[in-house]
Chains A and B, each alone.
Chain A
Amino acid sequence: MENAIRISNLVKKYGTVVAVENLSLEVQRGTMFGFLGPNGSGKSTTIGCMTGLLDPTAGAIEILGERFTTESAGLKRRMGVMPETLGLFEPLYAHEFLLFIGRMFGLDEATTRKRVSELLAALELTDTSKMLSEYSTGMRKRVAFAAAVIHSPEVLFLDEPFESIDPAGVSLMKQWLRRFTDQGRTVFITSHVLETVERLCEKVAIVTRPGKLVWEGDITVLARVGAIEYDGKQFDALEALFLHLTGERYTDLNWL
């Protein structure tokens, strides 16, 4: 199957600090791909490089078979991104923000308006008297999600999409994401909620500091076989494997 994302020897340094170290990944089209790692392991930096926010120090990125650079405006139109920091314009109303995004991504006026109305209704963002700055964190996440999908992208990058969203919202988003991949589109997702990743994703990559790939594989085996084998050990859950790879820590604070 054709690759939706291909990263070759990606390196990102901030001065002498290495954020991503020689990372290579391939994500096939139509896959729900989980990208996991502890805090500060370079997940958001990797997504930043893949979406044009950051310039890689070395390495190459291909999205949908094309070399991705900062200038790849055409390619960006085929991608949807929900950044970790959401990137909202606080003094706008939700519909104004989504209209702006729809127009920028080349949707015609009628389609933009129709999709904005539908997204606002589906995501229960119907309180039109509030600006984005007045929304709760969960509501803001929903707006950012709507902005990522409004133009029906072929590849969707979601950085911690489910945090702060209520269970009903998460359920709706998961349903949409599954339909998304069923249509042959690709989802690249980072999350700390390992149970969700385990249930939602087919493939997972785990990175550790500094942005170093330590494991990549098919996690559907957990449902099929009941365990993932690694390093001669059996792991019955993604969490167990994750902790093994990234290092379990336990420090006792006797005053706590």
Chain B
Amino acid sequence: MNLELIGELVKLRYKLMWAKTRTRNGKIALFFAGYILLIMVIVILAAGGLGAGIVAVRSGKGYRMAAAILGGFFLQAILATVLLGFGMGAIFSEGEMRRYPLVERERVLVRHLIGILDPFWFLILALELGLALGMYFFGAGSFWLGLIAVLLLFVTNYLFARVLGQLVERLVSKKGGSTILLGLIMCLGLLPSAIQPQLKKNSQAFRPVVEVLRYSPPAGAAQAMTHVDSEAAVGLSILLGWIVGLGAVLVILEKRPIRVRVAQSTKLSWESPFERMGAFLGPENAILVGQWLRFYSRNNRFRMLYPLALPICAFLVILFPKQAPENSRYLASLGAFTIVGFMGTVQFAVNQFGYVGGGFRRYLLLPTNPAAVLRTGSYTFLMLGSVLIPAATLILLLFPPVPLDWHTVVLFVGCAVTAMFVMNGIALWVTLLAPRKGNYDASFGNDLSFAANVVVMGGMFALLFGPRAIAGVWPHAVGPDDWWKVFPLILIAIFFYFASLRKAETMFVVRREALLAMMEGRG
């Protein structure tokens, strides 16, 4: 094993991260600030984990609490990686790695070492380590066993996310795969609410399930953390078993690359629904909107995230405790409904040109004002987002989470329209000021810039929890009694969007050289 070369490549990953900051002095400061922030977050998370450990020991149910907490961390890490793409970026592809004198298993090792050394995974590690320390300080287990358990769980978590990512990628690359995935997620999402009443009626019926869960990675780690006898060894062996199993599955999957989709027929098809859809936005936009629609309809990431927007918003409501006060359910439903118009498209709207690559140059050569490209791209996201609002309204009417009258429905729809215009307006600025070259073919990985991530995550959380925060200060502001207030909000949002679009069009022409350099990998 060429450890020296492997070390050099891992170092290169960090050198490349550093090199990106060299272009502007301000970015260097940002880099340091980002890392100081990261360290602070790690410390806070470790303290959180420690606190959870203390609670677990004091409750007298150390093993069960630890298993539940680790299970939560484990699932959250998987959701954050598979759905949001954190910690799943491939810095070097297999093709790039083949340039170096490394054998196959060394290349695999480098890729995964770089993957697991992503700052995102450090956050997960910090949480789990904090928990192990908490357990140790309060005498629930051994320090070394806890440390080994956490490290093994950390590797298992990474491998699990990778395997799941591979499976999802394979699924969405197939025709109809996105629909199957959607169905699976819906079933998974409905499972807790379906199980809960049964669990109350007959808890013994789920005993076999609980027994099986004892062999899950978080349970194995919890067992090793909370015991100092042979039980700890059993816990560690569960984790080792998972690592071997997942590692083997991952090797098999990676050795069988995803087959590239080929055309169903070799006959040229001249007709396409994309231009017809584009025609809804006027003949001057039809061709470019059609082109954007075609471009994104073939993107695996888009095909996965866009259809998920609706069920995710629905689950945010369904999963809200049924026994919660009606006002809380109302506010949760309003928050979830508000994000439906942009949730499926915002990741792309904030980095409109990030996946176009060399095609960006072509856009600038077209016999049209260059700004038309920006405008039509933004219209495309608005159109796609607005399609989801009536669909969500239908679901809202069929399965009302709270008692509905037409005032409430108008308020919900109005909030979704407002949020859609505001977020797409902000996305225009982010697209121009904080773009980042992304990988069109990757189904996973977070390609967005820091600012884009702040807008996507911040926007979603602000709107999800915003109604609750506002209601805390001004209870009537988001209530159905003042439903009419949504109309001026819609008008302000539309004005903001079009004013942003107008300014952004001018700025796009000015910034096109910088964008071109970035999209072609020179900036």
Contacts and interface: CB of A to CB of B under 8 A. Distances in A.
B356 interface: yes
A36 B367 CA distance: 27
Given A91-B295, A129-B262, A129-B263, A53 B516 contact: yes
A238 interface: no
A83 B363 CA distance: 12
B106 interface: no
Contacts of B369: 71, 73
Interface stretch (B241-249, B265-273, B473-481): B265-273
Interface in A54-92: 54-55, 70-71, 73-77, 81, 83, 85-92
Contacts of A182: none
A179 interface: no
Contacts of A52: 364-365, 370
Contact of B365 (A76, A92, A103): A76
B21 interface: no
B367 A74 contact: yes
A113 B356 CA distance: 25
Interface stretch (A93-101, A192-200, A225-233): A93-101
Contact of B294 (A51, A92, A120): A92
B364 A53 contact: yes
Given A85-B358, A91-B440, A134-B260, A51 B270 contact: no
B359 interface: yes
B357 interface: yes
B118 interface: no
Interface in B260-318: 260, 262-263, 266-268, 270, 272, 275, 287-288, 290-291, 294-295, 298-299
Contact of A103 (B260, B287, B298, B362): B287
Contacts of A129: 262-263, 266
A117 interface: yes
A100 B356 CA distance: 15
Contacts of B268: 95, 116-117, 120, 128
Nearest to B522: A85
B265 to A, nearest CB: 8
A197 B513 CA distance: 30
Nearest to B357: A90
B361 A83 contact: yes
Contacts of A133: 441
Contacts of A55: 513
Given A55-B513, A91-B298, A83 B267 contact: no
Contacts of B290: 100
A106 interface: yes
A88 B440 contact: no
B509 A88 contact: no
Interface in B429-446: 440-441
A244 interface: no
A243 interface: no
B174 to A, nearest CB: 16
A180 interface: no
Interface residues of B, number: 38
Given A54-B513, A89-B295, A129-B262, A76 B367 contact: yes
Interface in B472-523: 509, 512-513, 516, 520
Contact of B368 (A81, A95, A104, A130): A104
A105 interface: yes
Which of B266, B360, B366, B368 has the most chain A CB within a 10 Å cutoff?
A: B366
Interface string B337-365: 00000000000000000001111111011
Interface string A103-132: 111100000010011001000000011110
Interface string B99-130: 00000000000000000000000000000000
Size bin of chain A's contact surface: 35 or more
Contacts of A100: 287, 290-291
Interface string A8-22: 000000000000000
A54 B270 CA distance: 34
Given A91-B295, A129-B262, A70 B357 contact: no
A91 B299 CA distance: 8
B368 A73 contact: yes
A87 B362 contact: yes
B263 A128 contact: yes
A88 B356 CA distance: 9
Contacts of A71: 369
A99 B270 contact: yes
Contacts of B361: 53, 83, 85, 87
Nearest to B517: A14
B122 to A, nearest CB: 34
A128 B266 contact: yes
A239 to B, nearest CB: 30
Nearest to B356: A89
Interface string B190-231: 000000000000000000000000000000000000000000
B358 A88 contact: yes
A106 B367 contact: yes
A133 B358 CA distance: 11
Interface string A171-199: 00000000000000000000000000000
Contacts of B287: 100, 103-104
Contacts of A70: 370, 509
Given A77-B367, A134-B260, A85 B520 contact: yes
Nearest to B260: A134
A58 to B, nearest CB: 15
Contacts of B270: 95, 99, 113
Contacts of B272: 96
Contacts of A89: 291, 295, 356, 359, 362
A128 B357 contact: no
A128 B262 CA distance: 9
A95 to B, nearest CB: 5
Contact of B359 (A76, A90, A103, A120): A90
Point out which of A81, A89, A147 has the most chain B C-beta atoms below 10 A from its C-beta.
Answer: A89
Interface of A: 51-55, 70-71, 73-77, 81, 83, 85-93, 95-96, 99-100, 103-106, 113, 116-117, 120, 128-131, 133-134, 147
9 contacts: A53-B513, A71-B369, A85-B361, A89-B359, A90-B440, A100-B290, A104-B366, A104-B368, A129-B262
Top 10 nearest A-B pairs (CB, nearest first) are A87-B362, A76-B367, A87-B361, A77-B367, A89-B359, A91-B298, A129-B263, A129-B262, A73-B367, A103-B287
